[in-house]
């Protein structure tokens, strides 16, 4: 079970807020990354708190607790950018 929050994120929207969401990637044997989870979008905030979620260890790191995990924060936009 994991839960994440953000603090003082960059203002990315016209009105000075953001609609952030997280994307989790697991590393592959060849050095590439594969998406393994996306959070919900938290609207109009620079201090988001995402809902707690479960992700199987196998999906996140294939059971290798030393494997790199990459997490990126994005700003959702209605037009898909």
pLDDT tens for each residue of 2-50? 999 999 999 887 777 899 999 999 999 899 999 999 999 999 999 999 9
Contact 36, 24 (CB under 8 A): yes
Give the H or E element holding residue 60.
helix 57-61
pLDDT tens for each residue of 41-74? 999 999 999 999 999 999 999 889 999 999 999 9
Query: What gap in Å lies between CA 51 and CA 11, rounded to an integer?
Result: 21
């Amino acid at each position: 079970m994991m839960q994440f929050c953000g603090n003082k994120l960059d203002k990315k929207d016209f009105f000075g807020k953001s609609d952030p969401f997280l994307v989790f990637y697991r590393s592959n044997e060849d050095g590439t990354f594969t998406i393994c989870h996306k959070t919900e979008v938290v609207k109009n905030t620079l201090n988001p708190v995402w809902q707690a979620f479960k992700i199987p260890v196998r999906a996140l790191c294939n059971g290798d607790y030393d494997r790199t995990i990459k997490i990126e924060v994005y700003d959702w936009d209605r037009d898909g950018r």
